[in-house]
Amino acid sequence: MKIIRKYFFVAVNIFFLSIFASQCFAQSQSATADSSKAQNSKYLGIINQLYYFIQQNYVEEVDPQILYEGALRGMLQALDDPYSVYMDKSEWRNISDTTQGSFGGVGLQISKPSTSTKDKPAYVEVAQPIDDTPGARAGIQPGDFIIRIDGVDTSTITMDEVLGMLRGTIGESVTVTIKRKTVEFDRVLVRALIENPTVKFGMIDSIGYIRLSEFSTNTAGHVQEAIDSFKKQKKLAGIILDLRNNGGGLLSSAVEIADKFIDSGIIVQTKSRIDYENSVYHANAGKTEVKDMPVVVLINRASASASEILTGALKDTRKAYLVGEKSYGKGSVQIPNGLVNKDGFKITVARYYSPLDVNIDKRGIRPDLEVLYPEFTDEQRKEWERLEKDSVVPTYVESHADMTEPQIAAYAKQLKKTYNLEESFLRKIIRNEVGRTKPALLYDLDYDIQLNAAIKVIKQGNFDKLMKETKTLKDQLAEDEADKKEE
């Protein structure tokens, strides 16, 4: 055991030295080179001393991996930056899949309850198979439960473990046991290259609607597909970009999409203490796809990072009208890095600034038209919890398959007598349950008041006037600063 410790101790030393090597080299060129090198050597020595002492003297045997992960997490946490974090193998794989936009897998969109009970085991539920993937070709359907993967009971493992078993090397197989109502059967799925579907689009009357869930390497190409599809329509009144609940992704993807709407000037700037991280991204007039047309961007409190880059660029250049809620406010840029053991980390290297040189970090972007969903009262929240606990909606829908909209509305009225909730909300719950075993709806005009407001902005015919009255991010910042002075 001591031999193992010794070799791991050496490995830790090498790891720390490799992390700090470039920093030490850069500092050696400065006037304070000797002092900095001495400090680095001193602190690395202290880290080594503590590691060795714990291994030799702690009351219980310590797994070296626990100390290794703790050291990495601690260093990054010390930066007091929520976006600079250590990621284990599972977390690193997930972020790699997101940014690359594709991965080896079986093509099933899935969900899993966080808690498991004897009556309701936390099996994996199929939300939707992705078209033309192994899962879809095997006949797996929305609403099916994956109860075992290669013989492992899925109710006993985490979602990360599930993903780790379903994803993997292209060409290798995995066996899933499916439960469909009372029938159980196995399917052998051969993993293939799966593209992460980040863009969905369609028409709402004469308006093109694009929903972006994140920004990956493939997102801009699919946005182009949407625009090309809209251009084939006889009449196109405008375009709605839905960035709600979009937490971001690749800066380059946001820039490429912004370039389709902005014909000149700056899209975004990044500023850092590292010279090569300082960049200015300009629009290319030859790449502009949408001109002289109303564009509305939908945002909410979960629209962040790359979503705010795109939103800020369209706002500062007066190319789009914003509807919804104030965005999250993440104005920094992270670079993900893999480690030799297939773990990884991401670290903030720069902050980004809008075309008019505004950083929205911890501020967010305010919409031109604020549309808020009503907040639940404590009583309504309890009613919702009671409704979910009673499980009356799933039970009713199971015995009333393929409910129509009039039937959904009628059942909502019936539920209203027992549960004091808005009928529109009850209709949404019923509609979601009805659609649980079908492809997801692109939009829900019955419930989505923000989307309805965006449609109204385009259809009311005074878009140019509205745009002249909008405020840029620089205007908003000046207002915020003035308000602070008054306080």
Question: Looking at the annotation, which residues are catalytic?
Answer: 305, 316, 330
Question: For residue 301, what is the DSSP state?
Answer: T
Residue 241, number of CB atoms within 10 A of its CB: 28
Spacing of C-alpha 354 from chain mean position: 21
Residue matched to tokens 């999250």 = 328
Residue positions counted in the chain? 487
- DSSP codes, 92-109: HHHHHHHHHSEEEE--EE
Q: Is the dihedral of CA 186, 190, 191, 194 positive or negative?
A: negative
Reference 428, options 373, 485, 478; nearest CA is 373
239 and 208 Cβ atoms separated by less than 8 Å: yes
Question: For residue 330, what is the DSSP state?
Answer: -
302 and 245 Cβ atoms separated by less than 8 Å: yes
3-state helix, strand, coil in the chain (%, to 5): 45, 20, 35
Distance CA 358, CA 476 (A): 10
User: What's the Cα-to-Cα distance from 352 to each of 46, 95, 303, 472, 477, rounded to whole Å?
Assistant: 36, 21, 16, 16, 15
- Helix or strand (DSSP H, E) at 45: helix 33-57
Backbone angles phi, psi at 455, to 5 degrees: -60, -40
Reference 333, options 359, 312, 356, 358; nearest CA is 359
Reference 361, options 297, 296, 309; nearest CA is 309
Residue matched to tokens 């972020």 = 95
- Helix or strand (DSSP H, E) at 177: strand 173-180
Reference 124, options 139, 136, 140; nearest CA is 140
Beta-sheet pairing, 369-370 with 321-324: parallel
- Report the SS3 class of residue 239: strand
Distance CA 47, CA 39 (A): 12
